[in-house]
Every structure is written in structure tokens, then in C-alpha cells.
Structure 1
Amino acid sequence: MTTASPPIRRSSPDHASIPAASVIGGLSGLSCGLYLWLLTLEPAVMELLNRTAGHYTVWLLLTLVQSGLLLWYRRRPVPVFGGVFALFLLGSWIIGDAGTAVGVALPVWFAVFALTAYGPPRWSIPLVVGAWLGHVTTQLLIGHLAGWTDITPQLLIAIGVNHGVFYSACAVVGATVRAFQRRTDDALERARLVQSKLDAEAAEAVARERNRMARELHDLAAHQLVDVVLTARTVKLTSRRTGDVSHDDLDELIEQSTAALHSVRSAVGALRDGDPDQEPDEPLSQRVDRILRTARTTRALTVVAHLAPAVDLDRVGPAQRHAVARVLTEGLSNAGVHAPGAPVTATVAVETDDTVTVEVANPLSAPASRSGGFGLIGAAERAAALGGTFRAGPDPEGTWRLVMRLGPTDIEEGDPT
């Protein structure tokens, strides 16, 4: 039995493993507070920090902390981006002219990357453009307060282009990561759909296999078991009437029971080996004779048989041989159930073009009805599987006809004898 595999979990960046809004705020505040505390130290310490590139060291630490937060907490990158940019503006105003240095903007650039990679697309571009304008404006204001006197249109364009290049590069990298993540998610989704389809096909295959097993067991054993029951009832009635048991009847009962047991074992073995049509290699002429003899003796049917010569019957291939025997048995069994005592005509013909035809006809003595098992359905399935046709029903003359025609796709060459 096939069991459905667990669904594939999508690796989406929109799902955070741990809600960490408070942790983000605390760490960001701590890093900013530490930097502000360093800025309030004595001038000598500030001079030491300036000589050792302390500004960049502190901002590098701040970048690492904020970058880690942006990568860790991806569920709401927009508020985190806003917090990082606010800290950048605050730090730039506090540092003053040093805030225009490239290293100070590292947290913002990484925040731009994280926003375009993990944030909602409808907000990413407006926020990035707004941050770029805010960055340029902040730098110009800081420069103006620091005493810049040569602010020209060319300088404005240069500052805007300079920051625009960095912002655009970070945004492009983030968009590339987003596109890659989307393709990965789409691939996982397609894999999940394919797996679901495979599971559904496997379940359908199991259902078809169960139906096939039911059909095979019915076709192989049901009719023979019915014959066993009928023979046993005949023996019982005879013994009540005469007070004696006929050894011939007992021998017939034993033979039928043994044949039924053999059929069940053959069916189970064939199904286990994967070939439901695998049976002992018995010539078709012998199988047809045995089926007709059982119908005449056990079911007391009056059967008029029109059979092709044994040499033609015996060169019919295994698959067709199997189907002919099943359909002939089904037709005679239905005739005994629905038209007891009526004459039955059974025809098995092999035509010149090697087409095999099986026909069982009997007068309708009761309203036409389907058998309670899988016989007619199984016969139609067998014929379709071999590229043939099957028809069962009354004709205008009031005769029930069961007809199967199989093409010459499975005729064995040579003399089987």
C-alpha cells in the first residue's frame, strides 16, 4: 500500500523562526547608545579614536549587529530598515562632517539590500528612493553646517550620483537574491505538486490493482465454486431420495473442488508474480472441452457447440486463450442462472485472418440483468486490453448474446502439437 509522502516545506523568508521585535530594538538601542557614549568622551579620547579610525570601527560593529538583525528577522524588514536609517541619520548629525564618510553608510546600504531581498516589492522601491534622497539631503545639510561654501550644482549631481550608485548596487543585489529565492520556492512548489500527483497516481494504481485482483479471483474461482455447490446439493438430494451416495457424484465433487482450489492458488501466484494471465499451459481445445463438459454435467445445460478445429484453437496465443476461456465460462454461467433449462449455443471460431470469436447465445426466459459479480465487466476489460470488442445484451429476436472478438495480435506460429 502506498502512503502519501509528507508535504515539502517551503523555505520562504517571510516566516521568522522567532518573533524578535523586542530583541532588535534592544540591540539597536544598545549599539547606538554605546556609540553615543563614545562620542561624549574627553577630547583626548576622541582624538585617539580619530587617529585609530575609531569612527569606522564603531560603525563596523554597528553594521555587523544591524546586518545580523536584518538577516535573522526577515518577517518585517520595513520597520527594521526604518530603524537602521533613523540611527544612521542620528549618528550622522552627531558625528558631523565625519558622517559624510563612506563607511558611515554601510548599515544603510546593507539595510537597502535586506529590504529589496526580503521586503514587500510595493514598498521596497519607494523606501529606497526616499532613503537615497534623505541621505543626499542629510549630507548637504551637514556640509552646510560644517561651513561648506562651494556647494555647486555639479557637486549636488556628484553627491546624488555617488550615493545613487551604491544604493542601486545594493538594491540590484537584493532583487537578485529575491528572484533566486522565488525561483527556489517555485521549484519546491512544483516538486510538491509533482509529488502530490505521483501520490494520487499511486493511489489510483492501488485501486486498479485491487479491482484487477477481484476480477481475476472472480473469473478464476467463482464459477467453479458455484459448480462445487451445485454438485454438493445434487449429491445431498440424491442421497435423501435413494439413501445411497453415488461414488461417481463424489468423484465429480472432488474433481471440481480440486480444480477450484488449483484455480485459486494459480490466481494468487500469478497476481503475486505480476502476471494475472499466467496459468498452466493447457491447449485451448482441452480447456474449451472441459468448460463445456462442466456446464453440461453440473449445470445440466443443453449446449450446442460450434468449435473451430483443435489445430486452430491450439495455436491461439496465451492472452487470447485466457480471455476465450474466461468469456466462455462467464457466458455459460449466466445462461445457467438466467435461463435454466433453455438451450445454449456456444461458438468458438478462428477465422481465416486469425480473428478469434467467442459467442454464447440463449433465449431470454427472464428479464435481462447483469450478474452480481465482475464477470461482464471483466470480460469487457479483457477484450479492450487485447484490442478487441465485447458486447452482451438481447437482440431483436429475444436472444441474449454474449460476443467477444479479438484481433490476430497474439496468434502463436507453428504447430502446438
Structure 2
Amino acid sequence: MERLVVWARKQRWMVDLPLYGVFVLLAPNAASHESWSFRAIPLLFLLPLLARRRFPRTAAVLVIAGVVAVYTNEVWAYDRGRSELAMAVVLFTLVKNGDRRFAVVIAAGMAGLDWMWGFTWGVDTQNPTLSIIGVIPLYIAAWALGEFFRARDQLTREESLRAGLAASEQEAQARAAVAEERTRIARELHDVLAHSMSVIVLNAEGAKLARHQDPDAVDRTLDTIGRTGRGALAELRRLLEVMHAGEPVRSPQPTVAELQALVDQCGREVTLEVTGEAAELPASAALQAYRIVQEALTNMLKHAPPDATGHVRVAFTRAEIHVEVTNTGGREPVAAGLPSAGRGLAGMAQRVELYHGRLETGPLAGGGYRVGATLRIGDAS
């Protein structure tokens, strides 16, 4: 039944079926002795009305021509009802289509035909003037209905356009969210892999150098490599789950509570100082602080001499998180063979920007390097 209703709504000609029924059933208002075969001739008005939606001007001209033929013939002249109704229908169609100028021309022709009919055939009635102006409300109603349906169609089109724009905007926002998520995951992958691979490569090189002098150190180094590799695989697996599942899988993520393990993993002399309470802070902010420390330590492993020492300080307040990672200059030559993608500082800057904070990086006066970052919790977007 629902399909039938939808189909019927698409068939615009079916809306006119009651109108066609009126044309067929509208009784002639002339003398009864006249033949019904002659009275059926005005039904030809139905032919142009069938095409009034597709060719409104042509239909209007044909209807006016038909009314001229009816009103100038004594046999059909008194069948006025269908003539006036046909003219009102084409006037409505023109106004509904927004063709007001042509509608005015047709309305003037209709008024002229009514005047001609009144003074030609209306003189037989008691009040020919009334027969002339009596159809004016019909034309006014046809014009008003045309304006109403035109306004309604315009409103429907505007609503459809707004709905389409809203859908397009939603789709664009979805694409932007996907792109942002891909960027975030790529940044996470960079941080995880850069730090872990740096630790693994440096410890592997150290194990090669110490294998003949300190076998126990080799075992400890290999343990560090194993733990680092397993940790990297676990984080990569977690990121892959995020890509396939969604938001609920994103917890647990690395937090500041794991900073000590991160520092111990470096294989360098690095001290950690944490002040304040992180329990009430957003988990996402704690994650960003963790990643900033991780990236700063990765840069230390890549660019600082092997004997350089480091210091990590993280301070939590209700409104901000302060992160500072420094390292000394050291005296030994910098280890080679650790390429840099150049994304470390850029990644840290993006993380700080998420929380409308600030990032300060640069060499220290006595040698070494400093990374300082501030995340503003209250201003986070």
C-alpha cells in the first residue's frame, strides 16, 4: 500500500483526476432541447489541460482560443462553467510557475472574454453586470492558490537544499575527523617507533662493544632490548585496535605513571622529578605529557653523546602541566647511524598546540639541550 501511495504521488497527472471529473460531470446550463453531443465539444478543454504543467503557456493560449470559440457560438456559449474553470486552471498554473507577466496577459484576455460574453449573451439575464463580475472571485482564488503553492514549493526546495548542505557539511566534518585521526595515529606511531628503535639500536651497539669485556652487561642490554621491543609491539597493537574499533579501545593509554619505566628504558643516566597530583587531570593531557617526554628522550638518545646525563621534571597543577627535559653536553663523540625524520619537534609543537600551551627548545649555555613545554588544561579545546 505504501509503495502504491509513493507511486501515485510521483504521477502528477493523477492529481488532476478530480478536475477532469468536474469537466466531464459539469452539467450544461443551456436549454434541455440542445443535443448532448454538441455539449460534449467543450470537453476538448481537457486536451490542453493535460499538458499544462509541461507547456503552461501553450495550454493557456489553447484554452483562451477554445473559450473564444465557445463564446462566439450560440450552441456552446451558455456552457460557461467549464470555460471559466478551464481559464482559472491555466491562470493558476502560470502563477504557480512564477510566470506572472504572462499570467497578467491571460487574465486580461479572460476579463475581455467575460465582458464580451456579458454583453453578448448575458443581456438575456436580469442582471448581466453581475454575471460578468461574478467570476472575478474565481480568478482571484486561482491567483492566490498559485502564489500559495509556489511559495510552498520554494520552501520545500530550500529545505531540501539546506538538508543537502547539512549532509555535505556533516560528511566533510566526518572526513576531517578521519584525517585528523590518521594524523594523530601517525604521530603516535612516530613517537613509539622512534623512541623504541633508538633504544634498541643504541643498546645493540653497546652490546657489541661490551660482549668481550662484560658479558653480564650484554645480558642486561639484551633484556632491555627485549622489553623495549615487546613494549613497542604492544603499543603498535593498541594503535591498530584503535584504527579498527574506535574510541572505547583507546584506553588504557600510556600515562605519567609510566614515566619511570620510560626513563629506565633509556639506558642512560636520567633522573625523574614529578611534583603535583595527576589523578584529577584529563587522561588525554597526561598522554600528551608522556609523549613529549618520550620524544625529548628520543632526541637525547639520537643527538647527545653517550656519556650525557639527563633530567626530566614534570609538574602538575590544576590548570597546567609543565614538562622540562634537559641533558648535559657530555664529552664523548655523538654516536652515528641514527637517522632523524625531522618530525620530533614538530610533533611536540602540535601536542602543545592542542592545549594552547607553549614549547621552548634550544641548547643550554654550558652545553646540552633543553625541551620545555606547558599544557594549559583549562584552555584545552
Tell me the TM-score range normalised by the shorter chain.
0.7 to 0.9
> CA offset at residue 102 of structure 1?
3.0
Distance 1:316 1:104, change over 3 A: closer
* Paired residues of 2:48 and 2:62 also in contact (CA < 8 A): no
> CA offset at residue 77 of structure 1?
0.9
CA distance in 2, matches of 1:391, 1:329: 15
CA distance in 2, matches of 1:150, 1:221: 102
> CA offset at residue 194 of structure 1?
1.1
2:34 to 34, 50, 59: 50
Instruction: List runs of 5+ in structure 2 lacking aligned partners.
Output: 1-10, 13-29, 335-339
> CA offset at residue 85 of structure 1?
1.0
Q: State the identity %.
A: 22
Aligned residues: CA RMSD: 4.1
1:85 to 64, 77, 87: 64
* Paired residues of 1:390 and 1:405 also in contact (CA < 8 A): yes
Aligned length: 340
Distance 1:171 1:280, change over 3 A: closer
CA distance in 2, matches of 1:330, 1:102: 89
* Paired residues of 1:302 and 1:344 also in contact (CA < 8 A): yes
* Paired residues of 2:277 and 2:316 also in contact (CA < 8 A): no
Per-residue displacement from partner, 1:298-335 (whole Å, max 9, x unpaired)? xxx554x35136xx567575444433321111111123
- 5 Å matches for 1:160-199? 160-199=132-171
- 5 Å matches for 1:297-312? 297=267, 301=268, 303=270, 305=271, 307-308=273-274
| Structure 2 match to 1:41 | none
* Paired residues of 1:347 and 1:358 also in contact (CA < 8 A): yes
| Structure 2 match to 1:69 | 51
Distance 1:121 1:292, change over 3 A: same
CA distance in 2, matches of 1:163, 1:253: 99
* Paired residues of 1:93 and 1:99 also in contact (CA < 8 A): no
1:218 aligns with 2:190: yes
CA distance in 2, matches of 1:379, 1:281: 16
* Paired residues of 1:231 and 1:253 also in contact (CA < 8 A): yes
| Structure 2 match to 1:3 | none
CA distance in 2, matches of 1:328, 1:177: 67
SS at match of 1:308: strand
2:179 to 204, 207, 217: 207
Per-residue displacement from partner, 1:340-375 (whole Å, max 9, x unpaired)? 457454232436768542101347899xxxx63654
| Structure 1 match to 2:108 | 130
> CA offset at residue 408 of structure 1?
7.2
* Paired residues of 1:62 and 1:107 also in contact (CA < 8 A): no
SS at match of 1:322: helix
Where relative contact order (Cα < 8 A, 6+ residues apart) is larger, the structure is 1
1:278 aligns with 2:251: yes
SS at match of 1:138: helix
* Paired residues of 2:327 and 2:370 also in contact (CA < 8 A): yes
CA distance in 1, matches of 2:250, 2:373: 18
**Segment of structure 1 superposing worse, 76-85 or 229-238:** 229-238
> CA offset at residue 104 of structure 1?
3.0
CA distance in 2, matches of 1:231, 1:225: 10
1:102 to 64, 69, 81: 81
> CA offset at residue 115 of structure 1?
1.6
Instruction: List runs of 5+ in structure 1 lacking aligned partners.
Output: 1-15, 18-45, 410-417
1:394 aligns with 2:362: yes
Distance 1:101 1:225, change over 3 A: same
* Paired residues of 2:38 and 2:75 also in contact (CA < 8 A): no
| Structure 1 match to 2:348 | 379
TM-score by length of 1: 0.67
TM-score by length of 2: 0.72
CA distance in 2, matches of 1:356, 1:337: 26
SS at match of 1:94: coil
2:219 to 224, 247, 253: 247
1:114 aligns with 2:103: no
SS at match of 1:102: helix
| Structure 1 match to 2:292 | 327
Distance 1:373 1:262, change over 3 A: farther
> CA offset at residue 139 of structure 1?
1.3
Per-residue displacement from partner, 1:104-151 (whole Å, max 9, x unpaired)? 322212111212122523432x2243223332343146349xxx4999
Distance 1:193 1:314, change over 3 A: closer
| Structure 2 match to 1:31 | none
CA distance in 1, matches of 2:290, 2:255: 11
* Paired residues of 2:325 and 2:370 also in contact (CA < 8 A): yes
Which residue identity lines up with residue 237 of structure 2 in the other structure?
Answer: R
